[in-house]
Structure 1
């Protein structure tokens, strides 16, 4: 993991959503290089962050987040609960003061309701990192009590049998910064973190109409205060909720005042500034329902000019709505987004132009006669070009060649849409594993309807989707204010899929991970898994199976259950550096050994295993598989070898329905194997996404999709998508490992090189979980 100075630390200061498994008060981080790259692209509205204790990205809106200094992140991480972190965040001076403390500083430390005098002897963590991917540990203060308070503490500088500093017996205390004060700021009472203190009512009184967050039995909830009442048990707050305790829309709840926290938008000064100077730049609909920020437009001046709307709002001396355009032709513009010395948007010199919004028209190059001839569908004033009412199942193996293969097939690309085109094609063309997204009950019916009727159904029935339909989806995402650049900028496919599954359609996370932290097991839910690798893996030409096993092993993870859909992203740094020059797709992923519960086979005899040895993981002499499970007899034999005598195998729980024989020590039945099948791979090269889809049972049943394979015209042209058969992929997958390693990428047949060298995201499905069978 990168050092802390190469990491941006963040706290979720507001809860992401009522249904989210991420809570307010979580400490998260993002690689600084990755964050700086997004800043250069002006793409920080949605950030891919990793929460401490997990190993995968979560995409969160920046309005929910607050950036932290590394020292502040360590101090907050030491607090026991998210609520305590949120409370501490309200006192930035205390954080600053604690950050300035050092070993040798004289302080007061709170212990059992008393403030005791002492000297700081240690600052740092008290336990190992919960995950190898975690860049920091919680920052605690080790204090040696002094003078008359000596002997009133709890230890001698040791914690969990490890010595952090030395002092007399019962004269040491370990405490977070909320229980530490410098000697010149002696507190009058200890800051005990009671529920009452968390309500914030002492400093910020609540009133009717305030937006609030409150803690339910399971999740955080949100709503507006309707009334504040007195009761025998204290003050109660009547709240009109966004969602009730059962997750249903609306409703009212009576909540104790001490459970309520007032919601406040972060960076209020910046928000106010944006609202007044940027007009409608957030992407909301303007007076025209057709033209928004990000729309492709044309204007008629001395000649016809084309551009993208970058800003909409008001300018001094003008009563009408004004649009700020970035023009394609630099000779037609007059500025760089600046008007009378004030910047409203940014574009290259001589490409900017301010015009009346009413003078703009939708770019007819994508809705005129050329387009109608190209896609065969009517297009009325840029509206949805095609709507398939019938729900269509995925394309069958025998229909792929006649319905899907050829030019002008697949999804037409336009304006940096390749990440979305490839993701939609991969997920929906020949698989139904995520079709529940299309039919589940949702409050975002417009987005779901576009996805089903204008993209998925036409793709499956006609084999083609116009860029208009995808642009309409992008506009709807932009209207929801999930990201102001969804109609113009390139994104990551996992960001898009997570947004659709989590924030828009609220799909239950398909992936449940068990993480082991000491003797405690924690289950985490996520929508995809980012593979992290340590640098001791010794893999040269890895398979996806090996990468997943090594990543789970390094991060102490197991699967809590068999996922219906498993989305994996490969280890790389940004879009340029790849950890491996080639990755071999595992067309079948055996996840039996990755399951936390369930019967396991002995890797030697195949019978029911009752022991697991983590120290045998890297031992390829026993087996090529990663996790090693043994029956009693084979374990004794394996660990009789002098190199393995120091290993400490752990016992497995006996699955229900299995029993060990008294004579052999094992159940002779062979436990079943749990396997997932590969159905698609997204690849990236020089910021352009393409995809491969495994559409049938034969080794040669592979197709390749590129939404921008060809183009007609230049500035006034359009992209032509293409789907082509690529049976050569099967040939390379059957090659011996040594022969495949010696293949020169540029000499590989067809498009196979892109699958093996540019693989970015691998999508697996359970055969038993498809909607249509």
Structure 2
């Protein structure tokens, strides 16, 4: 299992206890833990882990002794061999910033044995694998040496039997960022500088290196054109058309100095020209037959399809207008697949933004509405859910059928979900994502808003995959193929959030943060009040005081104790509450068993609103945190009193030192009494994620009856070996209700391995609890 998302720091001075680490050591804290501790400023102390330490216990450091690092900076520094060297290069600063700007293909020099050797960056990344206990192994640069420096290296691009890049024997070097420098572009040198050429000297077929947006690229000159002015006084302008050898995009330059590059192998100009012209936005072969449907119905963000030489391609209109030299109205499409020709540029001019090879410029009249579906939204206020009704078109008969996709109801679960090859099919370390998506969307609509909210153009394909390839099939047919999960992982990886989204297992909270915060910009689910300041969050990690006396806690007790320890309140009722249990992956569990609370009463956890005295039921005026752990009032529940009861409670000699705090009572409520029928704010449990031996599964509470539980495992079985496939399974687990009805003493005596069915996994392996407010989800 990989490490969770972390926040990184560098130790800049000796800690209070000298034996912990030296200045220059890299340390980290779990992002979820950091978010729960910090508001607008850094705490005075942080419990961190050191990357180089094998010990998993956290060390407490003064915040003044550490400086924050981005993950990229931490990886660059971790590759250095000593703490002293790390601290020196961190303080130097400029080299780190330059290193972050390097990319594959950049011309550099590298210090090796006292010589400065010339080369090209061929690889950037780690050379050793990370692990749970060692989340960073350092970023290294693989350099292929060039020219006279060939043969002065020590590798052919292979490290520990793994091919990281390819070059001839002893023509490669693996280096840290501290030993390499980018070559100064010769286009910035005077015209008579060595190796520089003016555009007048270049001819078609010349291999060149050119610079765009500070990136070093290689290409071949396809054409050189001269344009003369109408007046004699106007200077002659020379235009170059250069084809990139990597992306096959076409660039044009005016009077630009370029340098020749020996490192680029010779490529036949005829073949290259044919390839580029085939990908030219103006020459892309499309079905230009006007569509029968009036294209006036199409607008920005319309979902459309076009017919290319390879067949149908689907995308979203990101731009409509006219292009230089073309009279007809054109559309700029962002395609679902890599069938395009650029990243939204046309003849080196930025038209819109999208990932590389996703943009296609085409006549608007050649676009048709996407025949796979046309959707509209309905809000069913009686059923309390947001419903998408896509129209799936049968092209052969030109008919459409409505396919509703509300959450699967209690009555439909047995028909749609139960059985083998049901749920979401696992696909190579995807169980964390499978279990999370199944929990969120199979039987609940609390987060459906994220499927339909307006997104940035570059994020729309991810939202589309989530809605049309995952949620809709899950709710319609009860099954999602593993290839759709891999598609989502590939899209997330291309977005740059993690280079290992398609290969490594992640933590559910890391995936949720990427999807909800970075991709879909969903409003934070939680607003936590601490010391008068409100903090936003998507998940809440439960932390407990080491002096707690809980043995077999309920989730209600854990939440109350955690809020009490951290001095937190809820600023408002959340529509969805995602709770992480007090554990860290499979390595550590604070409790052998946790009792699920089917409801969470959060009335006393709110910072505002009327509350009842816990003794007499009248309107409460004060809260006493000192009474929280007093056994006379029970093991759980916040201690809230009216003035009369507070006076009596605190007249006892053992509680004279207590300091009750006044509650914030809304205006309009009588101060002397209130009805005993105060409506309390409660959240209902709808899903639980569990982990055992690095494998995530989920439980769903899908109905009102005590036995309405199902269990989902995306990799319950497998057909075949390497070329086989996983078999997901969903089955009922009514046995859970048997243990929920037991007293705490009876449950404590249950031996986990003897518990019926899969109940043991719910009580012993809980990782994340998901609660919802059926009323608030209508407004969020």
TM range (shorter): 0.5 to 0.7
Matched, 1:32 2:41: no
Residue 475 of structure 1 corresponds to which residue in structure 2? 490
Label 1:698 to 1:38 Cα distance change in 2 as closer, same or farther (>3 A).
farther
Matched, 1:691 2:702: no
Contact 1:680 1:763 in 2 (8 A): yes
Question: How far 1:314 sits from its partner (Å)?
Answer: 10
Q: Secondary structure at the match of 1:621?
A: helix
* 2-structure distance, mates of 1:460, 1:64: 43
Residue 399 of structure 2 corresponds to which residue in structure 1? none
Map of 1:471-510 to 2, 5 A cutoff? 471-510=486-525
* 2-structure distance, mates of 1:676, 1:740: 24
Contact 1:8 1:30 in 2 (8 A): no
* 2-structure distance, mates of 1:431, 1:593: 26
Structure-1-length-normalised TM-score:
0.56
* 2-structure distance, mates of 1:325, 1:466: 37
Q: Per-residue displacement from partner, 1:78-119 (whole Å, max 9, x unpaired)? A: xxxxxxxxxxx99948xxxxxxxxxxxxxxxxxxxxxxxxxx
Map of 1:120-131 to 2, 5 A cutoff? none
Residue 175 of structure 1 corresponds to which residue in structure 2? none
Map of 1:251-650 to 2, 5 A cutoff? 266-269=96-99, 272=102, 279=122, 340=169, 342=172, 390=390, 392-443=405-456, 444-516=459-531, 521-650=532-661
Label 1:35 to 1:394 Cα distance change in 2 as closer, same or farther (>3 A).
farther
Contact 1:10 1:29 in 2 (8 A): no
Contact 2:530 2:567 in 1 (8 A): yes
Label 1:708 to 1:265 Cα distance change in 2 as closer, same or farther (>3 A).
farther
Residue 688 of structure 2 corresponds to which residue in structure 1? 681
Q: Secondary structure at the match of 1:452?
A: helix
Residue 701 of structure 1 corresponds to which residue in structure 2? 708
Label 1:9 to 1:512 Cα distance change in 2 as closer, same or farther (>3 A).
farther
* 2-structure distance, mates of 1:504, 1:268: 28
Label 1:712 to 1:571 Cα distance change in 2 as closer, same or farther (>3 A).
same
* 2-structure distance, mates of 1:401, 1:413: 21
Contact 2:125 2:141 in 1 (8 A): no
Q: Give the aligned length.
A: 490
* 2-structure distance, mates of 1:690, 1:493: 11
Contact 1:601 1:629 in 2 (8 A): yes
Label 1:721 to 1:33 Cα distance change in 2 as closer, same or farther (>3 A).
farther
Label 1:486 to 1:636 Cα distance change in 2 as closer, same or farther (>3 A).
same
Residue 747 of structure 2 corresponds to which residue in structure 1? 740
* 2-structure distance, mates of 1:688, 1:525: 30
Residue 763 of structure 1 corresponds to which residue in structure 2? 770
Label 1:11 to 1:568 Cα distance change in 2 as closer, same or farther (>3 A).
closer
Contact 2:27 2:51 in 1 (8 A): no
Q: Secondary structure at the match of 1:767?
A: coil
* 1-structure distance, mates of 2:779, 2:513: 23
Q: Secondary structure at the match of 1:398?
A: coil
Q: Secondary structure at the match of 1:708?
A: strand
* 1-structure distance, mates of 2:664, 2:770: 31
Contact 1:10 1:27 in 2 (8 A): no
Residue 217 of structure 2 corresponds to which residue in structure 1? none
Residue 725 of structure 1 corresponds to which residue in structure 2? 732
Matched, 1:750 2:757: yes
Question: How far 1:272 sits from its partner (Å)?
Answer: 2.7
Label 1:650 to 1:618 Cα distance change in 2 as closer, same or farther (>3 A).
same
Question: How far 1:267 sits from its partner (Å)?
Answer: 4.9
* 1-structure distance, mates of 2:447, 2:727: 27
Label 1:434 to 1:29 Cα distance change in 2 as closer, same or farther (>3 A).
farther
Q: Per-residue displacement from partner, 1:515-562 (whole Å, max 9, x unpaired)? A: 12xxxx211101101111121101100111111111111111111111
Label 1:638 to 1:578 Cα distance change in 2 as closer, same or farther (>3 A).
same
Looking at CA atoms only, which structure, 1 or 2, has the larger radius of gyration?
2
* 2-structure distance, mates of 1:588, 1:35: 43
Contact 1:10 1:68 in 2 (8 A): no
Name structure 1 gaps, 5 residues minimum: 13-20, 40-49, 54-58, 70-88, 94-262, 284-310, 318-323, 346-355, 358-378
* 2-structure distance, mates of 1:26, 1:275: 42
Contact 2:77 2:90 in 1 (8 A): no
Q: Secondary structure at the match of 2:593?
A: coil
Q: Per-residue displacement from partner, 1:9-61 (whole Å, max 9, x unpaired)? A: 5799xxxxxxxx9989999967426897999xxxxxxxxxx9989xxxxx996
